Amino acid sequence: MVVNLPEKDLDDVTRSEQKLPTEGRPILELEQVPESLETKKNQIEKAVQAEADTKRKLGIPKIRRTPTPVPSVRDPIAIKVEKIMEEGLNEAYQRLSPVAQQEFKLKGEETAFKITELLKSAHVQVKKIFRLLLEWLKMLPGVNRFFLEQEAKIKTDKIIMLNNKEHGKQ
């Protein structure tokens, strides 16, 4: 059964269904309502999963960064490298917070291990040693960059001289 209403009545019905703002306050539409955190989290998880699926389809391997292991038994060269690295840094080290001191120490041990590995190779790569030392020294806050570069250069030269002595080169 279909009821035909006059046009005037339809206008009245549609006006009454419209929600007009009262006292100057706008009514929020559905698009303006903020999404819940759960919805955002689900969207992010879906995006991450989609990216992982795409990488898997393209054959891109996952990159897993593992920290360089620091051996518990150190060889004499590694100990000498660490002694060279710590020369002249006592004052700057003491200014660090205890947490920063621990991070600096761990990074220093890791750097010393990497340098020792580089020294064991047939061709010593001086630039890599210099970069490793510079990156380690950049952890010190409030120290001039040029001073750090100079200090890294001095330490690199001493490490190369130590390596030459150990292998009988002059």
DSSP codes joined into one string, 38-58? HHHHHHHHHHHHHHHHHHHHH
CA distance 111 to 104: 10
Domain 76-165 maps to which CATH number in 1.10.287, 3.30.1070, 1.20.1440, 3.90.75? 1.20.1440
**Percent of the chain predicted with pLDDT > 70:** 68
pTM of the shown model:
0.56
**What is the per-residue pLDDT across 56-74, written as a single tens digit (0 to 9) for each?**
777 766 666 666 555 556 6
Residue 6 clears pLDDT 70, i.e. is over it: no
Cα separation, 128 vs 114, whole angstroms? 10
Residues 6+ apart with CB under 8 A from 5: 13
Q: What is the model's pLDDT at position 33?
A: 46
Whether the Cβ atoms of residue 118 and residue 104 lie closer than 8 Å to each other: no
Task: Tell whether the model's pLDDT for residue 115 goes beyond 60.
Answer: yes
Q: Residue 73's pLDDT is what?
A: 62
